[in-house]
Amino acid sequence: MPRPTRGRPRAFDRDRAILDAARLFWRYGYSGTSTRALTAALGLSTSSLYAAFDSKAGLFEEAVRTYAERYREIHRQAVAEQDPRTVIERILIDSVHEFTQPSDVHPGCLLSSAAMTDSTSTLDTSAYYAELHGWNERTLLARVEQADRDGELTAGTDAVALTGLVQSVVHGLSVQAGLGTVREDLLATAHLAHKLICRHLTSPAS
């Protein structure tokens, strides 16, 4: 009789592993997520996990950077737009879409996760997020100041305050998303905020 063959081992999907790990880290934090829980969620042995990510800390840091850097990319792409109205619209709308990605492709918002209160020996998560937020704000401020120099802001508009307003709306939308507000409602809020903010911008024809 022919000998039975073993089932083919599950193929390693790095992106899926990072997503599954991020869900645990986002919920329980770095310290609260055990290596055993990670290997069970990822379907890997401890040795395979270490071979792929060097350590639990390495996996955590890759998960944080993978999903947090998407927020930087939203700002990077938005400020490249010609019309400052579009810049602000893309930041607000694209952020809502990022906050409300389906759970099978996104672990949730870093801002409202347990990971924000935890860190590894090599990555202070709160400091990393503060740097990311600061970069986003400086990038948007530079674009708003350029719009001011180009005569695209109404007279007397404070570029710093306007930038802070946009960033505050983004963070508020993030909190609402974390509390379960549906995408349609968040988009409605974002569109209204965009309309109100654009009152401080001159018309393209002026």
CA-to-CA dists, residue 160 to 73, 78, 131, 164, angstroms: 21, 18, 18, 6
The rounded distance, in Å, linking the Cα atoms of 89 and 117 is 31
Output the CATH code of domain 68-200. Answer: 1.10.357.10
Is 91 or 124 the better-scoring residue by pLDDT? 91
What integer is the mean pLDDT of 85-104? Answer: 93
pLDDT band at 147; cut points 50, 70, 90: very high
Sequence ranges of the domains in the chain: 68-200
> Is pLDDT at 1 greater than 70 in this prediction?
no
Residue-level pLDDT at 131: 92
The rounded distance, in Å, linking the Cα atoms of 50 and 56 is 7
Which tokens sit at 68?
A: 């947090």
Helices marked H in the chain: 14-28, 35-42, 46-53, 56-78, 84-99, 125-149, 159-178, 183-197
